[in-house]
Amino acid sequence: MSSDFEVSLFVFMLATFLGLEIIRRVSPLLHTPLMSLTNAISAIAVVGSILVAGKQESPLSTVLGAVAVTCSMINIVGGYLITYRMLKMFRKSGAGKR
């Protein structure tokens, strides 16, 4: 059992460091498409966490699933707000101000 945990922890840490290095090297022109992609990934995480929370196998899995749904939704909403703000910076000065 401990071996499975260690392998999962290693994969998680490797994915974290690899993701940070990849995102750090992205050109500023590509940040908006990258945000859209991460919003899509977060949407997949919401579906998975809803499934985990909905099974109600144990109180812990239900609570962790609900926390995952909340965190993923915060990530999605924040991502869309940031993307909207970035796109608003590229509009022409006289076109459709709000």
Torsion of CA 69, 64, 67, 5, to 10 degrees: -90
Number of domains in the chain: 1
CB 52 within 8 A of CB 61: yes
pTM above 0.85, yes or no: no
Kindly state whether residue 75 falls inside one of the protein's structural domains.
Answer: yes
Kindly state whether residue 7 falls inside one of the protein's structural domains.
Answer: no
Report pLDDT digits (tens) over 63-95.
988 998 898 888 888 878 887 887 788 777 665
Kindly state whether residue 50 falls inside one of the protein's structural domains.
Answer: yes
Kindly state whether residue 56 falls inside one of the protein's structural domains.
Answer: yes
Report pLDDT digits (tens) over 6-30.
887 888 888 888 877 877 777 766 6
Print the domain residue range for 77. Answer: 28-89
Distance between first and last Cα of the chain: 56
Kindly state whether residue 37 falls inside one of the protein's structural domains.
Answer: yes
| 1 pLDDT more than 60 | no
**How much is the CA Rg of the chain, to the nearest whole Å?**
18
Across 38-67, average pLDDT: 84
